[in-house]
Amino acid sequence: MSVDFSPYDVHCACAMENLPFADGQFDLIIANHILEHVGDECVALNELKRVLDPAGTCILSVPQVFGWDATYEDDAIVDPDQRRVHFGQSDHRRLYGRDFGSKLLRAGFDVETFQVPRPDEIRFALSRGETLYLCKPPG
């Protein structure tokens, strides 16, 4: 099932902060470069955790600058051109730093990181050196 805020070519159009699914409905969730778009990432992470089966896995990826300790965000930046300058894209709200894994732990996930071998980065449409976060409910 595909879900997006945009109503085009998806099964369900909704905001990540308010998913219209039952608790524990999915055994696998892939959110590839989504969290940088949402208004409240804490609410979105809680929603992902809520709809994830207790034995399930959520795979997350975000634009991340590993040279930064902390995520950079500024809610006062609303102009699309300024967002492009600050966050790399007109509809981004943040760029993540090395603290992203800590944010996932605070949201209540057990977290493992993974990087695909270089030859597979293109095959899976990943950025060079991109880190994937495998998140599971504690247990």
Instruction: Determine the pLDDT at residue 65.
Output: 94
Residue 11: inside a domain = no
Domain count, the chain: 1
Domain that holds residue 59: 20-136
9 in a structural domain: no
Residue 119: which pLDDT band, with cuts at 50, 70 and 90?
A: confident
User: Over the stretch 6-35, which tens digit does the pLDDT of each residue have?
Assistant: 666 777 888 999 999 999 999 999 999 999
Is 8 inside any structural domain?
no
Nearest in space to 61 (alpha carbons), one of 99, 103, 30 = 30
Is residue 13 a part of any domain in this protein? no
Q: Please check whether residue 1 lies inside any domain of the structure.
A: no
Task: Check residues 118 and 87 and name the one with the higher pLDDT.
Answer: 87
Residue range 38-56, pLDDT digits in tens: 999 999 999 999 999 999 9
> Which CATH number covers residue 129?
3.40.50.150
Residue 113 lies inside a defined structural domain of this protein: yes
